Amino acid sequence: MTLAVTHAPARARPLVKHATTGQTLLLTATITPPADAVKLARTDPAARLGDYLQALQFYLRLPDDSIDRIVFVENSGSDVSKLRALAYRYPNKQVEFVTFYGLDYPAAYGRAFGEARLIDYAFEHSDILYQVEDDEPIWKGTGRLRLTNLAHMLRRAPRDYQLYCDLRNVNAQWMDQRFYSFTPFGYRALLKNTAEQLREDLHNTLAAETLMYRHVIKHVGPGRVVPRFRSQPFIAGISGFGNTDYGRGFKNHVKDYLKVCSRRLRPSYWI
């Protein structure tokens, strides 16, 4: 079943709950970024839409026992009809589109500010997210990128957490915000209404990834925050910051290999 929601009102009652076999994937998207967006090299809406189509098709093709629900949330008010048409070709997946205009803030606030507000909006307006149980994992992904080993990471994930993420403590304190997982309870306890905390203009130009690290590291502990992925995430797609492909190039492959080794041999060395 495919759902499509555009400019939806806040959800007051859940729809009929569907039987599920896999987990929920929340994809964040900005097809048409503002002209003055900071730290963004990939700005062409047509190119970005192509990225979203490629990534969505990848996730639609995943086995249902890995991902069977996808919520695609777009915050520039752009046309998502091509994405919706693609989703209708996969009737075994529940796919919901939520679109709105959420870029009404100064570019100096940073893109993480906008994404945090986007996630808040998704929880207020998505039928699928409304139906997820409090302790059930949701995976958040940057919608243009493909987490190519997501099915493997789902199988290797811990059973009990509120937030499952990848922190780094070598060279810089950093939380990778491209992909992470949380439960609805964890969202409310740790992530809801954090946009103001991620404003880069208020924190001596610190990256939002560092601000997020400082926010979540305080909560690391059993059943709450698991600070390192058990498996190295392999990401493909074009970087918005550098306009280069994460999944290609000798340098990227070497980085991934070193990180695989570090997770196995030096688990306290977060790179």
> What pLDDT score was predicted for residue 10?
44
> What pLDDT score was predicted for residue 241?
84
This prediction's pTM: 0.93
By DSSP bridging, strand 167-168 and strand 174-175 are antiparallel
Of 71 and 255, the one with more pLDDT: 71
Question: Would you identify the CATH topology of the domain 5-265?
Answer: Spore Coat Polysaccharide Biosynthesis Protein SpsA; Chain A (3.90.550)
CB burial readout 220-236, b (16+ within 10 A) else e: eeeebbbbbbebbbbbb
Percent of the chain residues past pLDDT 70, beyond the cut = 92
In the chain, DSSP finds a helix count (H) and a strand count (E) of: 8, 12
pLDDT at 235 over 60: yes
> What pLDDT score was predicted for residue 250?
72
Q: CA separation (Å) from 213 to 80, 219, 256?
A: 33, 10, 21
The model's pLDDT over 50-94, given as tens digits with 9 standing for 90+, comes to 999 999 999 999 999 999 999 999 999 999 999 999 999 999 999
- Mean pLDDT along residues 116-121: 98
Where are the extended beta strands (E) located within 53-187? Answer: 67-74, 94-99, 138-142, 146-147, 163-164, 167-168, 174-175, 179-182
> What pLDDT score was predicted for residue 118?
98
> What pLDDT score was predicted for residue 9?
46
CB burial readout 151-182, b (16+ within 10 A) else e: ebbbeebeeebbbbbbbbeeeebbbbbbbbbb
pLDDT at 141 over 90: yes
> What pLDDT score was predicted for residue 5?
52
Which of 128, 116, 121 has the alpha carbon at shortest distance from 25?
Answer: 128
Count of other CB atoms within 10 angstroms of residue 84: 18
The model's pLDDT over 32-42, given as tens digits with 9 standing for 90+, comes to 999 999 889 99
> What pLDDT score was predicted for residue 18?
60
> What pLDDT score was predicted for residue 28?
98
Measured between alpha carbons, how far is 193 from 123 in angstroms, rounded to an integer?
11
Of 204 and 86, the one with more pLDDT: 86
Q: For residue 32, how far is the Cα from the chain centroid?
A: 18
Among 3-12, 106-115, 199-208, the least confident range: 3-12
pLDDT at 20 over 80: no
- Mean pLDDT along residues 105-132: 96
What is the total residue count of the chain? Answer: 271
Among 113-127, 142-156, 252-266, the least confident range: 252-266
> What pLDDT score was predicted for residue 24?
98
Among 14-28, 112-126, 197-211, the least confident range: 14-28
Residue 80 has φ and ψ, to the nearest 5°, of -115, 20
Q: At what angle do helices 208-216 and 111-125 cross, to 10 degrees?
A: 60
